[in-house]
Amino acid sequence: MTSLTENAGYPLAPSKSYQVCTRCIMDTVADQSISFDDDGLCRHCLRYDKLVSARHLRGDLGRDALQALVECIKAAGQGREYDCIIGVSGGVDSTYVAWLVKQHGLRPLAVHFDNGWNSELATKNIERVLCNIKIDLHTHVVDWDEFRDLQLAFLKASTPDGEIPTDHAIGALLWKEATSRGIKYIISGMNFATESISVPEWSYGHSDWRYIKDIHRRFGSVKLKTYPHFSLAYLCYANVVRGVRMVSILNYVDYNKERAKEILCNSLGWKDYGGKHHESIYTRFYQGYVLPRKFGIDKRYGHLSDLINASQISRSQALAEMKRPPYPEDLQQQDLAYVSKKLRLSPQQFEDIMRAPIKSFRSYRNLYEPVQLLRNTVNGLRKYHFYPR
C-alpha cells in the first residue's frame, strides 16, 4: 500500500521547508498553500480569530439571539404542520440539532437523504432518536443506478470531490422540501466551532451543478432523471422570492462535541459510531481511504485543528490522534471490498482509479466565480445581521 501513497502525491519530501502552525496542527504537508504570520500562526487560525466573534455567538449573547430567532421561526410557521426542516444523517451534529430544536419548542420535519450507503447504526440512530423525541421523518431514496453512475463518474474524473454528489443532493432536497411545503427555515448542523477550516484544494462543488453535470456528461452513462439538484438561480429564488432561510443553529450555542454526544447517548439512546461522518460507509471510505491515499488529503487535520481552536481538545491530543490511521486498517479493507463490489469495479479497475493522475475542478466546466460571489454575499449579509448565522 505504501507504493500507492508514494505514487499519489503524499509529498514525502516537501518542496518548501516544513512548517507547522504554532496553535493548530495544520502544516505545509496538509495544506500546500498554507501561509503563516510572523508569530507562526497559520492562515486558518488567523481566519478563525477574525471571524469567530461574527459567526459564533456564545453565552448570553447566543441565548438571546437564538430566542429571538426561535420566535421568528415559530411566527413564520404558524398554522402549518411544521415550522422548520432539519436534515438528519444519524451523525452527532444533525442529531444534536434535532434535540436542540425540540428543546426550543420548534416543530421540525426531519428530512433524510438515502444514497444507498447508510450504515446500520445510522438507520438505527435515526429510528431511535426520532421516535424518542417524536419528530416526523421524510426520506428521499435516490435511484441507486443513477447515483452509482454519478459516484463512479466522480471517481473517474479524478478530483477530490467524490462526496459532492451526496452533499449537493442533500442541499437540493432541503431547499426543495422547504419551498414545496411552504416552510421558511432550514436548520442545519453546520457550525463554525467545529468545522470552520476549509482548504480550497480539499473539496469544491457543493453548489455547483454545472461542475457536477459536466463530470457526469464526460464519465457517466445513466441518465440522471431523479437525482435531486439545484442551480444557483434556484438558490436565489428559494432565498429571495420564497424567503427560505438556512440557519446554522449550532452557531448560537456553546457547541461541544463530547458533551453533545453524552446528552444524545444518555437521553436519546443514540450510539457513537466513532469518526466524523462515519455514518455513511462511502463517506468513511472516501475520507479515510481514497482522499489520504490518492490525494494526500486527510481531513482530520482540519477537524482536529477546529477542535483545538474551539478549546475542545489539546494540541497534543490532536497530534496523538494523527498518529493513528484514519480508521482501523481491517475495516478499510472490508470497505474496499464492499465499495468495489457495490460500484461494480474489479480490484484492478479500482486500483487504476487510485493511480490515475490527479485533477481539480478547474479541469472541468464550473461556476467557481459565481459560487464564490454568492457565498461572499451571504457572508456579508451575515455580518450586518441581514441573514441568520
Partner 1 sequence: MVHARVIPCLLMRNGGLVKTVKYKNARYVGDPINAVRIFNEKEVDELVFLDIGNPGVPAIPNFELLAEIASEAFMPFAYGGNIKSIEHVKRLYSLGVEKIVLNTAAADQPDLVSAAAALAGSSGVIVSIDVRRNWMGKYSVHVAGGTRDLKRDPVEYARAVEQLGAGEILLNAIDRDGTMEGYDLELIGRVCKAVSIPVVAAGGAAHLPDLRNAAGAGASGLAAGSMFVFHGKHRAVLITYPEYEELERLFK
Interface positions with partner 1 (CB under 8 A): 112, 114, 116-121, 123-124, 126-127, 130, 136-139, 141, 143-145, 338, 341-342
User: How far does Cα 206 stand from its chain's mean position?
Assistant: 9
- Min CB(92)–partner 1 separation in Å: 19
Rounded distance between C-alpha atoms, residue 30 and residue 318, angstroms: 14
Closest CA to 196 of 104, 288, 312, 360: 312
Which of residues 120 and 262 has its CB atom nearest to partner 1 in the complex?
Answer: 120
- Min CB(52)–partner 1 separation in Å: 37
CA-based end-to-end distance of the chain: 43
Burial of residue 386 (number of CB atoms within 10 Å: 0-12, 13-18, 19+):
exposed
Phi, psi of 34, deg, nearest 5: -70, 150
- Min CB(120)–partner 1 separation in Å: 4
- Min CB(116)–partner 1 separation in Å: 4
- Min CB(128)–partner 1 separation in Å: 10
Do 74 and 106 meet the contact criterion of CB atoms below 8 Å apart?
Answer: yes
What burial letters (b/e) apply to 213-235, b meaning 16+ CB within 10 Å?
Answer: bbbbeebbebebeebbbbebeeb
- Min CB(333)–partner 1 separation in Å: 16
- Min CB(318)–partner 1 separation in Å: 31
- Min CB(352)–partner 1 separation in Å: 22
Which of residues 69 and 186 has its CB atom nearest to partner 1 in the complex?
Answer: 186
Which of residues 46 and 343 has its CB atom nearest to partner 1 in the complex?
Answer: 343
- Min CB(384)–partner 1 separation in Å: 38
DSSP letters along 257-291, please? HHHHHHHHHHHH-----SSTTTTBHHHHHIIIIII
Which of residues 338 and 368 has its CB atom nearest to partner 1 in the complex?
Answer: 338
Q: Residue 139 is placed in which grid cell?
A: 426520506
Which of residues 234 and 338 has its CB atom nearest to partner 1 in the complex?
Answer: 338
The full length of the chain comes to 389
**Inter-CA distances, 99 with 80, 266, 297, 362, Å:** 21, 12, 33, 40
Which of residues 64 and 145 has its CB atom nearest to partner 1 in the complex?
Answer: 145
- Contacts (Cβ under 8 Å, ≥6 apart) of 196: 44, 47, 48, 51, 52, 55, 306, 309
Which of residues 91 and 302 has its CB atom nearest to partner 1 in the complex?
Answer: 91
- Contacts (Cβ under 8 Å, ≥6 apart) of 10: 29, 292, 296
- Min CB(327)–partner 1 separation in Å: 17
Which of residues 115 and 191 has its CB atom nearest to partner 1 in the complex?
Answer: 115
Q: Residue 144 is placed in which grid cell?
A: 441507486
Which of residues 21 and 129 has its CB atom nearest to partner 1 in the complex?
Answer: 129
Rounded distance between C-alpha atoms, residue 229 and residue 172, angstroms: 5
Which of residues 37 and 127 has its CB atom nearest to partner 1 in the complex?
Answer: 127
Residue appearing with cell numbers 481491517: 330
